[in-house]
Structure 1
Amino acid sequence: MPAAAEPERPALSLTERRKAATQQEIALAAARLFAEHGAEGTTAEDIARTAGVSLRTFYRYFRTKEDAVAPLLADGSRQWIALLAAADPAVPPLSALVDAARAALDPAPGQPAEALVWTRGLLRAMPADPALRDVWHRIHHDAEAALRPVLARLAGLPADSLDGRLLAAAANTAMRVAVESWAAGDSAPGSAADLAADALGRLAGPLTSN
């Protein structure tokens, strides 16, 4: 049975595209400063100045300096779940999970792995800033909710069943722990995909029983 097509999203207006671009610029500036100076050594004023916007504009988009990195940190999860949602339902769920994780975490050929570099810096800055950790865990809470129906469809489970919820929680946690483990080390950006594949492979028991 073919995968159900996702509802087509309406095209963004020019104003919406500009807002999204500004938000991303602020997020990149915040990530760069947090990675270089730590959360404590970075202010909202620093982020606004680096992004080339006014402090008023900064607060129009983000409530706190830590919130500013949320769009960047959420990009990887969104890409992973989108790739998983587009997976062929005939592919075993575990293979679909690993393939989507590799595609989301492997830098594109010939392109710098900038997002992963900044993510590493952010994750290393988190121990000194509980608010930054809260952003990270909130992103993964939202990712788990988004992952649940996608993974349940691939595994042939009701999304709200205990098994469906546990699988989504386990897969999401495997990705989070893999990225955190990669960030704590000194290996190349591409190895984040290897760690994620290994972590997800440990879910083989429940995912290959269907």
Structure 2
Amino acid sequence: MRSPRPYAPQTGPGAQSLTERRKAATQLDIARAACDLFAEHGPDGTTAEDIAHRAGVALRTFYRYFRNKQEAVAPLLAGGGDAWRALLAEEDPGTPLGEALERAVTRSLSGQQAVEEGLEVTRGLLRAAVDDQALRAVWYRVNQDSEEHLVPVISRLVGPEADPLEVRLLAAAATDAIRVALELWSTTQAPVSGPGSPAELAVRCLRDLTGAMPLLLR
């Protein structure tokens, strides 16, 4: 399966420069090649040279962006977190936070072919990570980065009066809800939608982890 195409670049204030967009596009080309090869041959059967060749770049270009073959998948894994935070950021301040979180999680994990293809790529990577410590480390780091980037999004939704500790705890719980759901789903043959899907599992995890949090009880 060919890995999904990246999202369109931003425009307007804060948009990336042409050089930054080209750099990001190259990284994503390498990431897609790494995911495809890992799915075909596993991490042990794939070299950095293989990935560079599949991506159509020189080996020195590969190492300009990534220290090792496992790190090459990070841009694609991070894309899921970027997408769900962007959906949450679309919510208006004052919207019931529990509803906003569930809506963003559900939308980010279902409903589009590109999302479903991306989930299958993630399932393959998580299965490969079971026996590859370096690949697991990339997965955990991507989730940690996503949690940190989620804090200002939640802060904006709840307003300046929110307790920073409660915001951090909610960001951690929401991130872990998605992480645990994807990890559990990857061990099954469950479909990408419907019962047992990532969206359903993530909402269940989110409710269990955040149900008693002060920010959601106000």
Compute the TM-score of the two structures, normalised by the length of structure 1.
0.87
- The answer on whether the counterparts of 2:74 and 2:138 sit within 8 Å (CA) in structure 1 is yes
Q: Offset of 1:118 from its aligned partner?
A: 1.1
Match of 1:205 in 2: 212
Match of 2:198 in 1: 192
Tell me which of 143, 147, 154 is aligned to 2:146: 143
- The answer on whether the counterparts of 1:39 and 1:125 sit within 8 Å (CA) in structure 2 is yes
1:66 equivalent to 2:70? Answer yes
Q: Offset of 1:80 from its aligned partner?
A: 0.8
* Structure 1 residues 1-210: aligned runs within 5 Å: 8-13=13-18, 15-108=19-112, 111=114, 113-156=116-159, 161-190=164-193, 191-202=197-208, 203-206=210-213, 207-210=215-218
Paired with 1:62 and 1:118, the residues of 2 have a C-alpha distance of: 20
- The answer on whether the counterparts of 1:149 and 1:159 sit within 8 Å (CA) in structure 2 is no
Instruction: Using CA pairs under 8 Å that are at least 6 residues apart, name the structure with larger relative contact order, 1 or 2.
Output: 1
Q: Offset of 1:10 from its aligned partner?
A: 3.2
Give the share of equivalent positions with the same residue, in percent: 52
Q: Offset of 1:158 from its aligned partner?
A: 5.8
Q: Offset of 1:182 from its aligned partner?
A: 1.2
- The answer on whether the counterparts of 2:155 and 2:162 sit within 8 Å (CA) in structure 1 is yes
Q: Offset of 1:84 from its aligned partner?
A: 0.9
Give the CA RMSD over aligned residues: 2.0
Paired with 1:102 and 1:148, the residues of 2 have a C-alpha distance of: 19
Unaligned 5+ segments in structure 1 are 1-6
Q: Offset of 1:112 from its aligned partner?
A: 7.0
- The answer on whether the counterparts of 2:177 and 2:203 sit within 8 Å (CA) in structure 1 is no
Paired with 1:76 and 1:157, the residues of 2 have a C-alpha distance of: 27
Unaligned 5+ segments in structure 2 are 1-11
Count of matched residue pairs: 202
Q: Offset of 1:156 from its aligned partner?
A: 4.6
